[in-house]
Amino acid sequence: MAISSSGGHWAQLLRLSEAFEGHDVVFATTQRDCSSQVPGHRFHVIPDATRWNKARLVLLFLRVISIVVAEKPDVVISTGAAPGCFALYVGRCLGAKTIWLESLANVRKYSLSTKLVKPVAGLYLTQWHHMSRPEGPYYKGSLL
């Protein structure tokens, strides 16, 4: 499962698509029109939410739970924000491997989501060498 918010997070997730070749990947994001960018793959639309709208966060969390439980992914990967954070937690509870790639935009400090997923991210990555730490996130390159 590849999941993220739309916009820059989604664009970065799509840059990983070569790594997904040959695998059965389900995608999820907050914009329905993004489905045209992943033809031939299952696609789910999830609510858009921020930490400032608690009711929408609850709806997002419930939707992510339902998708992850239904899809039963072996791996959950995200490039960021609340949808990915929630999916990594749910996926980890169901035994999935989890990969978090911090957004390229976070050059000076980690996002709240990055801080929150640390306990459940099996692979925890940053796209900036100077942001890497011995305990993670690790730097393995960027999506530029």
Closest residue by Cα to residue 2 from 60, 69, 70, 76: 76
Tally of CB atoms within 10 A around 142 = 14
- Summarised one tens digit per residue, pLDDT across range 89-99 is 999 999 999 99
Residue with tokens 């999506």: 143
Q: Domain range holding 46? A: 2-139
pLDDT of residue 102: 86
Q: Which two tokens stand for residue 25?
A: 């990947």
Which is more confident, 110 or 23? Answer: 23
Domains: count for the chain: 1
Mean pLDDT across the chain: 92
Read off φ and ψ for residue 137, nearest 5 degrees. Answer: -70, 155
Mean pLDDT in residue range 1-7: 96
pTM: 0.92
Tell whether 96 is covered by a domain. Answer: yes
CB burial of 55-76 (b: ≥16 within 10 Å; e: otherwise) equals eebeebbebbbebbeebebebb
CATH number of the domain where residue 59 is located: 3.40.50.2000
Closest residue by Cα to residue 78 from 35, 112, 117: 117
Tell whether 37 is covered by a domain. Answer: yes
What stretches of 16-120 show up as alpha helix (H) in DSSP?
17-20, 54-71, 81-93, 112-117
Q: What is the dihedral of CA 73, 79, 83, 88, to 10 degrees?
A: 40
Tell whether 144 is covered by a domain. Answer: no
Q: Which residues pair with 75 in a beta bridge?
A: 97
3-state secondary structure of 38: coil
Tell whether 41 is covered by a domain. Answer: yes
Confidence of residue 46 (pLDDT cuts 50, 70, 90): very high
